[in-house]
């Protein structure tokens, strides 16, 4: 199954939920926000939200800034 | 003590996390500054590069509150989206709203900022909008639900100081919400001046981060902010072009 994460193509084996996706991508959960096809998915829903083929994932994290 | 929304601050120096040489320098300087409100930005994660986790050392400091910004947003729509992502990422309603479409001077767009402030305040955000030193805009933002206003001293990162001084004074006189002077503060004396004028707080990032000794500079800013505030509370004397004698002008020299 093919999805895009921040415009980068990513192949995943099965329909993962968002918590599993972060694990596969070796990304921390802390300080991170996720949107699927420009719809923000709140942290409490990450385990329930399953990815579909062709999904566009936006993965945002806190960084240095003023 | 300074109160913004429901939060009390001992320190009137707010800081940022940008431009430090590394995470350790950033953490040490922020801790030395005693700042209790620290800005952060958001970025898209690059899956193929690992970078410093700057969040963790800040989360370990219980007195530090995070203030995510919407830097990079070019209009109200993008800013609202960025704000919602920031709320998810950092689990805070606090937001430094910044919308600056022009990359050269990074001057804030007043119309889009007002639109976004209105929407975000309705969505429960504690909005601190970064704006030009425009007293009329400040009144509009206040009505739109801004928790504080953040007028600039001069362009972001320019270190030019308080080029907007007279307008900051009008804002301080007229605005009901706290006034945080943000951007352009290049030296502790700039920060002290802002506080002497009656600003409720200042936000300093670049001037601390680019100093060869960020910890010492953070302490210098902390002291300047506290001195400026104390002077404001004590009440400054009035100015005049003519001399006003501070010693009695006795005539004894004429007798020699």
Between helix B23-33 and helix B214-234 the angle, nearest 10°, is 20
Given the residues B3, B43, B77, B96, the one annotated as active site: B96
Partner residue facing B68 (CB), from A27, A59, A62 = A62
Partner residue facing A27 (CB), from B43, B45, B157 = B45
What per-residue confidence (pLDDT) applies to B183? 94
Residue B246 CB neighbours (<10 A) = 5
Partner residue facing B88 (CB), from A27, A42, A63 = A42
Contact B17 A6 (CB under 8 A): no
Average pLDDT for chain B: 94
Average pLDDT for chain A: 92
B60–chain A nearest CA distance, Å: 13
pLDDT tens readout for residues B156-209 = 989 999 999 999 999 999 999 999 999 999 999 999 999 999 999 999 999 999
Question: Is ipTM > 0.85 here?
Answer: yes
What per-residue confidence (pLDDT) applies to B214? 97
What per-residue confidence (pLDDT) applies to B246? 86
Predicted confidence (pLDDT) at residue A21 exceeds the cutoff of 70:
yes
Predicted confidence (pLDDT) at residue B253 exceeds the cutoff of 70:
no
Q: Is A9 on the interface with B (CB under 8 A)?
A: no
Q: Which run of H or E residues covers position B120?
A: helix B110-122
B3 in active site: no
Predicted confidence (pLDDT) at residue B51 exceeds the cutoff of 70:
yes
C-alpha neighbours within 13 Å on the C-beta side of residue A12: 22
> In chain A, pLDDT over 90 holds for what percent of residues?
73
Q: Which run of H or E residues covers position B68?
A: strand B65-68
Cα A8 from Cα A4, distance rounded (Å):
5
What per-residue confidence (pLDDT) applies to B169? 97
Contact A60 B19 (CB under 8 A): no
What per-residue confidence (pLDDT) applies to A26? 87
What per-residue confidence (pLDDT) applies to B228? 98
Predicted confidence (pLDDT) at residue B254 exceeds the cutoff of 70:
no
Q: Is A57 on the interface with B (CB under 8 A)?
A: no
pTM: 0.90
Tell me the pairing of strands A56-63 and B37-44: antiparallel
- Binding site, annotated residues of B: 157, 183-184, 205-206
Which of A10-14, A54-58, B66-70 shows the lowest mean pLDDT across its residues? A10-14
What per-residue confidence (pLDDT) applies to B256? 60
Contact A63 B39 (CB under 8 A): no
Predicted confidence (pLDDT) at residue B130 exceeds the cutoff of 80:
yes
Predicted confidence (pLDDT) at residue B249 exceeds the cutoff of 80:
no
Contact A62 B41 (CB under 8 A): yes
């Amino acid at each position: 199954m093919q999805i895009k994460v921040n415009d980068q193509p990513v192949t995943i084996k099965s329909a993962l939920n968002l918590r599993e996706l972060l694990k596969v991508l070796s990304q921390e959960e802390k300080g991170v926000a996720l949107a699927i096809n420009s719809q923000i998915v709140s942290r409490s829903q990450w385990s329930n939200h399953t990815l579909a083929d062709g999904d566009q994932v936006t993965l945002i994290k806190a960084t240095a800034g003023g | 003590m300074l109160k913004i929304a429901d939060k009390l601050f001992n320190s009137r120096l707010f800081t940022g996390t940008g431009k430090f040489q590394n995470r350790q320098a950033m953490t040490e300087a922020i801790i030395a500054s005693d700042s209790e409100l620290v800005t952060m930005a958001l970025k898209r994660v690059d899956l193929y590069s690992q970078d410093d986790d700057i969040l963790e050392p800040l989360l370990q400091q219980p007195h530090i509150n995070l203030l995510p910004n919407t830097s990079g947003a070019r209009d109200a729509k993008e800013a609202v989206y960025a704000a919602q992502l920031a709320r998810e990422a950092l689990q805070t309603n606090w937001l430094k709203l910044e919308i600056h479409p022009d990359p050269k001077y990074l001057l804030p767009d007043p119309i889009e900022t007002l639109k976004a402030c209105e929407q975000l305040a309705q969505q429960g955000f504690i909005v601190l909008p970064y704006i030009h030193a425009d007293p009329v805009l400040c009144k509009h933002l206040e009505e739109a639900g801004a928790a504080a206003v953040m007028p600039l001293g001069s362009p972001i990162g320019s270190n030019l100081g308080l080029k907007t001084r007279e307008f900051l004074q009008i804002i301080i006189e007229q605005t009901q919400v706290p006034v945080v002077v943000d951007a352009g503060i290049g030296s502790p004396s700039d920060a002290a001046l802002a506080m002497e004028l009656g600003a409720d707080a200042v936000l300093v990032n670049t001037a601390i981060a680019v100093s060869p000794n960020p910890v010492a500079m953070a302490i210098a800013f902390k002291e300047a902010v506290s001195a400026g505030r104390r002077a404001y509370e004590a009440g400054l004397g009035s100015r005049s072009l003519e001399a006003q004698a501070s010693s009695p002008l006795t005539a004894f020299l004429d007798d020699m």
